[in-house]
Amino acid sequence: MIQIFNTKSGKKEKFKPLKNGCAGMYVCGPTVYDSAHLGHGRSAVSFDVIRRYFVYRGYNVKFVSNYTDIDDKMINRAHEEGIEVSELAEKIVPEYERDYGALGVMKPDIQPKATEHIEEMVEIIKKLEDGGYTYVLDDGVYFDVNKFAAYGELSGQNLENLKMGARVEVKESKRNPYDFVLWKFKKEGEPFWASPWGDGRPGWHIECSAMSYKHLGESFDIHGGGLDLTFPHHECEVAQSIGAFGKGKFARYWIHNGFITIDNEKMSKSLGNFFTLKDIFKKYAPKAVRLMFLQKQWKLRAKNLERKPAIKCGQEQK
């Protein structure tokens, strides 16, 4: 029996897959505007071990982890370097592949890019519009959080005391300050795609909902990522995915890895207190760095550690 510490419930739960012998996992990958740092490596190694353990226990694992290759940070960095956003992604993605490979991280079964899934994003937004979850302002299409009663349950947020995350834009004309953008209308000098609401580009949160839907379906077993993604990113994913596909859909178990801290602060590029993996590897062997990451627990618990024979991937369980 495998037990998982589920962020949503705040307790350990017995893992019961949607399909006997199968485990569908989606892990939020990096925004590829700059090189990977130690925090990225910690997350990648943590979920690599979890994935490997499920395989060890006989599960047929379908592991999906994305690249975010369009968002504000991508656009700003591309402008700074005088190149196209797509060129920036083409330059940075191979760095992640090299650094993660050095850490012994297995390549995902599927590694989608956000820009390859615009069609699925538009499809989900249409479903939300049909369900009455959206409204349009001068700069884009927004999700009305008041229409989703369970908003805040994953992260334990109290909406009355809610403080906006760093990547959530504050806009006075929004119905609520915590409403989030699904589709941003075109701005001069930015990449854009056609949509029923006008040319533009996706919001950050809709990207992962679309990619997990495309490759794992409306429901899947495990969604993972760094602890900092719990709110607002994963909270918004829950709202828009369930809003589009119905109650009981989307991820059944949520796993979040902890931070690497520097002087009691989270390591992040925005704080400028980070160390890139490529620089760390100049001083320490990648295997030693991997071992350092694994000296801390990642909140997966298991019983009966003996190896199990492979399980045939069968019918859906209730």
Token reading at 91: 């330059």
Sequence-ordered alpha helix ranges (H) in 151-254? 204-216, 235-245
Tens-digit pLDDT string for the chain (318 aa) = 899 999 999 999 999 999 999 999 999 999 999 999 999 999 999 999 999 999 999 999 999 999 999 999 999 999 999 999 999 999 999 999 999 999 999 999 999 999 999 999 999 999 999 999 999 999 999 999 999 999 999 999 877 665 444 344 567 789 998 999 999 999 999 999 999 999 999 999 999 999 999 999 999 999 999 999 999 999 999 999 999 999 989 999 999 998 776 666 666 666 666 789 999 999 999 999 999 998 866 443 333 333 344 445 554 443
- φ, ψ dihedrals at 273, nearest 5°: -110, 40
Instruction: Say how far apart CA 88 and CA 95 lie, in whole Å.
Output: 11
CB 63 within 8 A of CB 108: yes
The reported pLDDT for the residue numbered 171 is 74
Instruction: Say how far apart CA 132 and CA 198 lie, in whole Å.
Output: 19
CB 266 within 8 A of CB 259: yes
Instruction: Say how far apart CA 275 and CA 255 lie, in whole Å.
Output: 25
The reported pLDDT for the residue numbered 265 is 64
The reported pLDDT for the residue numbered 102 is 98
Length of the chain, in residues = 318
The reported pLDDT for the residue numbered 166 is 37
Instruction: Say how far apart CA 45 and CA 47 lie, in whole Å.
Output: 6
Instruction: Say how far apart CA 102 and CA 45 lie, in whole Å.
Output: 11
Residue among 109, 127, 98, 114 at smallest CA distance from 40: 98
Task: Give pTM, 2 decimals.
Answer: 0.89
Q: Using DSSP bridges, classify how beta strands 250-257 and 219-226 pair: parallel, antiparallel or unpaired.
A: parallel
Domains along the chain with CATH numbers:
22-302 (3.40.50.620)
Instruction: Say how far apart CA 313 and CA 205 lie, in whole Å.
Output: 31
Instruction: Say how far apart CA 10 and CA 156 lie, in whole Å.
Output: 10
Contacts of 120 (CB under 8 A, 6+ apart): 210, 211, 213, 214
